[in-house]
Amino acid sequence: MKTFLMLGGAALALAAAPAMAQNDTDRAGDIQFKVLGTAVLPDGKITAVNVDIVGLPANTQTKANDNVVPTIAVEYFLTDNVSVETIAGTTQHDVDATAGLPVGAELVSDALLLPATVTAKYHFDLGGVKPYVGGGVAYFIWLSDKPGAATIPLGVTDTDLSDEFGFALQAGFDVPLGDKGLGLTFDAKRYFIDTTARWFAGNTLAIETEHKLDAWVISAGVAYRF
């Protein structure tokens, strides 16, 4: 997180200077490629218990852990102010108990998430800084997951997290560095999406719960527009 704060501070400092790019407002047809450090901060709270044959404590609650990963983003400018963007990257999470069960008990291990996302963005021109807002659709794809260490002694043999559609809101800013297309970028997304978690003992569905993910995804890095 220190890296994000440093990059964000540098970007804000540069924002006070006039833009150096001679044609920076003429962006229609441009492609912008970003290399980012990204913090993925999901919720993971249980919102409903659909199946429970093991007798979970009534106040059982969970949390998915945070992760920091490298990501890339590709953006195409439809007009000088309107663009579409997609991101690429995977992030791995565990789901642990926060109440009811022993705190920290691992319920899901190494859940690998591909958060496929496409957003439309509107850019403002404030001289040395280019803020934007946007929104779009997301499809969370769980590439793999494993039973948590705390569930294996209870006979759990498999877990499953459901792939789900949702949507995302987005805001951030770009800061040009000279007139060669380079820049700094900072981005924040808030996802609104759920998943259904299932734990199996052999072929028997032992537990099924609904979870609110609603992740914050905070990114900072460098961009190149051409």
- Residue 12: the pLDDT is 41
- Residue 82: the pLDDT is 96
Cross-strand pairs, 82: 122
The domains of the chain are located at 2-225
Tens digit of each residue's pLDDT (9 = 90 or more) over 133-182: 999 999 999 999 999 999 998 889 999 999 999 999 999 999 999 878 89
- Provide the mean pLDDT of the chain: 88
- Residue 178: the pLDDT is 81
- Residue 167: the pLDDT is 96
Q: Is 130 exposed, middle or buried (0-12, 13-18, 19+ CB in 10 A)?
A: buried
Percent of the chain, pLDDT > 70? Answer: 89
What band does 44 get if pLDDT is binned at 50, 70 and 90?
Answer: very high
Percent of the chain, pLDDT > 90? Answer: 78
- Residue 22: the pLDDT is 37
Q: What is the mean pLDDT of residues 86-106?
A: 94
Cα–Cα nearest to 100, from 46, 51, 25, 29: 46
- Please give the class, per CATH, of domain 2-225: mainly beta
| Whole-prediction pTM | 0.83
Contacts of residue 118, defined as CB under 8 A and 6 or more positions apart, other chains included, come to 84, 85, 86, 136, 137, 138
What band does 125 get if pLDDT is binned at 50, 70 and 90?
Answer: confident
Q: Which two tokens stand for residue 177?
A: 């560095």
Q: What is the mean pLDDT of residues 97-104?
A: 92
